[in-house]
Amino acid sequence: MKPISYLITEGKLTKTNFQTESEKVLRIIRIAVEVGISLIQIREKNLSARFLLDLTKKAVEMRGKSPTKILLNDRVDIAVLAGADGVHLP
């Protein structure tokens, strides 16, 4: 059985830096999917719903058919809209 590995995003994205910094986060997510990380938790608490939905949709698309699961921190509504695999609740 393969061990579970879990990536959590840093939570440094904001409305101000989203356009420039979100590509870095997505690049890390893409690499995590490629190397077979089991779970990726998007934990970007400083983003508006619109930016968080955009980021999560892109992460889900990036995951494709890999077994990697995409979780979103706190926001069940956005997780459902983006097609994420689950939600991390506090």
pLDDT at 90 over 90: no
Q: pLDDT tens for residues 40-79? A: 999 999 999 999 999 999 999 999 999 999 999 999 999 9
User: Phi/psi of residue 66, each to 5°?
Assistant: -70, 160
First CA to last CA distance, the chain = 28
Q: Which pair of structure tokens corresponds to residue 13?
A: 């994205």
pLDDT at 2 over 80: no
**Which CATH topology does 6-88 take?**
TIM Barrel (3.20.20)
Distance CA 77, CA 87 (A): 10
What are the extents of the domains in the chain?
6-88
Q: pLDDT tens for residues 8-36? A: 999 999 999 999 999 999 999 999 999 99
Model confidence, pTM: 0.94
